[in-house]
């Protein structure tokens, strides 16, 4: 690196990769400002030190660990579990990649005090990350986030990290936990009667090479859907994300293959990772967008409703950023509404409902993003 790229050398070592409120995230590689087994080790040791302090009155402390499809994720997850073991903390580790919501579920199901998932979400393939969770299954928040950060900062040398945990003591999680999680997912269905009345609605699903391939199609079938179409090329688990420039589903190009499949099979809905898109929506003309070629309505991760053309160009947005909406509902009168819990935070007025008042609705829930 010194001989070939001095800039990269400086970038890799000029500072420490910071453990923030969301954990760690960075480019994988050599250096203190890179995601590697040493920066991950220091973060995990800091987490363990905090757990040992917070739960000192317990006979046993436990942590659940999961990982995504990214390069080095299985290695990072195993090392995280080993460090926990070396610190006298019981460690559960999934036998392969799993979606983050299952890690959250496992923490509560097993009565763990914390959890870790190795993932960099939608970042480019060069990145990886480390997210810490508390005993309630949610990501760490104040005061735990600040306290863990302080514990990590106390670690001044890699020699302070206990890497020597016995792998044989790691408890493997697999199909048994998957089944418990899927059973709970089915129980959380908002309107099973609606599914029962429309089981053959055509749904296209793509994990974009990620963790959803493990459980999403299976969950849809358990809920009663019978016409689920995959995108085979993107079902392949691959941390290089070979079929897309970026694995971020909020970038329209990432959906090209899935949208093509949706057109081929005449699908009404497209699910990508944890996002829903409704294809060929009949209410597009009501927005006066017919001449702009809009063919798809998408509920994005930022809670915005966006109309896209067939070429994935956005032509209209509901501008609901910050609303906290997690559910898109189609009302009986044909209006579309975004909900946060039971409260409507945005509604598209119809010709028969110009004030946008939300009436009884049929819902499609957006999973934890």
Active-site annotation, residues: 121
- Helix H or strand E segment including 260: helix 256-265
Is the CB of residue 200 less than 8 Å from the CB of residue 220?
no
With a CB cutoff of 8 Å and minimum separation 6, the contacts of 144 are 50, 54, 134
Collapsing DSSP to helix, strand or coil, 272 comes out as strand
Distance from first CA to last CA of the chain, Å, rounded?
Answer: 37
Collapsing DSSP to helix, strand or coil, 284 comes out as helix
Q: Which residues pair with 24 in a beta bridge?
A: 130
**Token pair 């590689």: residue:** 29
DSSP state of 170: P
310: region left, alpha or beta (phi > 0 left; psi from -120 to 50 alpha) = alpha
Pairing of strands 275-279, 269-272: antiparallel
């Amino acid at each position: 690196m010194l001989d070939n790229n001095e800039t990269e050398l400086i970038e890799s070592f000029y500072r420490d990769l910071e453990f923030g409120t969301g954990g760690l995230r960075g480019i994988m590689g050599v250096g203190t400002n890179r995601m590697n087994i040493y920066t991950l080790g220091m973060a995990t040791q800091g987490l363990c030190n905090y757990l040992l302090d917070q739960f000192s009155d317990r006979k046993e402390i436990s942590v659940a660990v999961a990982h995504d499809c990214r390069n080095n994720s299985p290695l990072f997850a195993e090392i995280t579990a080993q460090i926990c073991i070396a610190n006298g903390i019981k460690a559960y580790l999934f036998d392969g990649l799993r979606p983050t919501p299952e890690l959250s579920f496992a923490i509560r199901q097993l009565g763990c005090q914390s959890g870790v998932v190795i993932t960099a979400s939608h970042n480019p393939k060069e990145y990886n990350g480390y997210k810490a969770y508390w005993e309630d299954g949610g990501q760490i928040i104040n005061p735990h986030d600040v306290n863990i950060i302080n514990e990590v900062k106390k670690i001044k040398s890699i020699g302070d990290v206990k890497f020597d945990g016995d792998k044989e003591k790691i408890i493997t999680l697999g199909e048994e936990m998957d089944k418990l999680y899927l059973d709970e997912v089915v129980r959380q269905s908002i309107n099973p009667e609606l599914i029962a009345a429309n089981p053959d609605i055509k749904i296209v699903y793509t994990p974009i090479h990620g963790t959803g391939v493990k459980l999403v199609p299976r969950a849809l079938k358990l809920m009663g859907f019978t016409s689920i179409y995959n995108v085979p090329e993107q079902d392949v688990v691959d941390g290089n994300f070979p079929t897309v420039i970026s694995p971020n589903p909020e970038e329209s190009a990432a959906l090209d293959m899935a949208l093509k499949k949706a057109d081929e099979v005449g699908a009404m809905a497209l699910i990508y990772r944890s996002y829903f898109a409704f294809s060929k929506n009949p209410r597009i003309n009501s927005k006066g967008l017919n001449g702009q070629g809009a063919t798809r309505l998408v509920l994005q991760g930022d809670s915005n409703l966006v109309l896209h053309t067939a070429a994935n160009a956005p032509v209209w947005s509901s501008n609901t950023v910050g609303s906290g909406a997690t559910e898109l509902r189609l009302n009986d009168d044909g209006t579309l509404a975004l909900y946060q819990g039971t409260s409507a935070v945005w509604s598209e007025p119809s010709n028969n409902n110009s004030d946008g008042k939300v009436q009884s609705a049929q819902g499609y829930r957006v999973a934890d993003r």
